[in-house]
Amino acid sequence: MGLDEKQVSEIGSVPGTGGVDVDLLAEFSQGNPSTRQAIVWPKAYECPQSSAFPVLEAFKLLSHRLPPCDVYMFGSEKIQYAVRLWFQTLPADFRARANLVDRIPREEVLRLFGRARVMLAPALADGVPNSLYEAMATGAFPIVSPLETITSRVTAEKNVLFARNLYPEEIAAQLLRAMTDDALVDNAANENRRLVKRTADRDQIRSRVVEFYENLAQTNA
């Protein structure tokens, strides 16, 4: 675009929240993920970036094989009518342990992450979702889609499991794996906290931003 390289910020990409408060989210974390019995699905709605219906179908395929757990499904505002209709097609015993939750304050979501074994967020298009960093910081194990923006930052089996948004069988298989493989989720939790601290910690990002603007002010003085 004709800019001199010196005029381009070296801060790099950062989470949309400005960074993760790693210490605060560590306080929300309740024990090792293998001891937790909750699944959080923060994208339980239809939009151009993600589809809810394949995920509901995955729950239907998996409902009788999941270990005992609570499931929390969040809407972007109110849970959409079509999503509620599809939800009613799921087996009654699964619906009894699932919670359709309209939009709630962000801190409540983060506290739920701290109680969750799995954060389920397959998508059709995304950058690096804030929920990915937040889940990793609280120890919740992420299942996300293998999008280029995400695969460049995390590794399958080490940090996450990948499942494409439009493939219920993939989502079901990876969800069952994450809910039954204790070593996978506990090992990932330790690695993921280090990854968030290294790449998305708010204090470190703040320092880089302040340094950039101070240098910019001195250069233009």
| Single-letter amino acid code for the residue at 122 | P
> 16 and 196 in contact (C-beta within 8 Å)?
no
> Tens of pLDDT along 82-123?
999 999 999 999 999 999 999 899 999 999 999 999 999 999
Number of domains in the chain: 1
Residue 213 belongs to a domain: no
In this structure, what CATH number is given to the domain that contains residue 24?
A: 3.40.50.2000
Q: Token match 């910690």: residue?
A: 201
CA gap 140, 200 in Å, rounded: 16
CA distance 173 to 125: 21
Whether residue 43 is contained in a domain is answered as yes
Residue 65 lies in a domain: yes
Indicate whether 122 belongs to any domain.
yes
Torsion, Cα of 157, 144, 100, 75 (10° steps):
160
Tens-digit pLDDT profile for residues 140-199: 999 999 999 999 999 999 999 999 999 999 999 999 999 999 999 999 999 999 999 999
Q: Quick check: 185 and 159 in contact, CB under 8 A?
A: no
In a domain, 165, yes or no: yes
pLDDT, tens digit, 9 for 90 and up, residues 10-35 = 777 788 888 899 989 999 999 999 99
- Looking at the domain assignment, is residue 191 inside a domain? yes
Note whether residue 192 is domain-resident: yes
- Work out whether the CA dihedral 112, 117, 119, 120 comes out positive or negative: negative
In this prediction the pTM is 0.91
Task: Report yes or no: 40 and 144 within 8 Å, Cβ to Cβ.
Answer: no
Residue 209 lies in a domain: no
CB 112 within 8 A of CB 72: yes
Domain boundaries, position 121 = 20-200
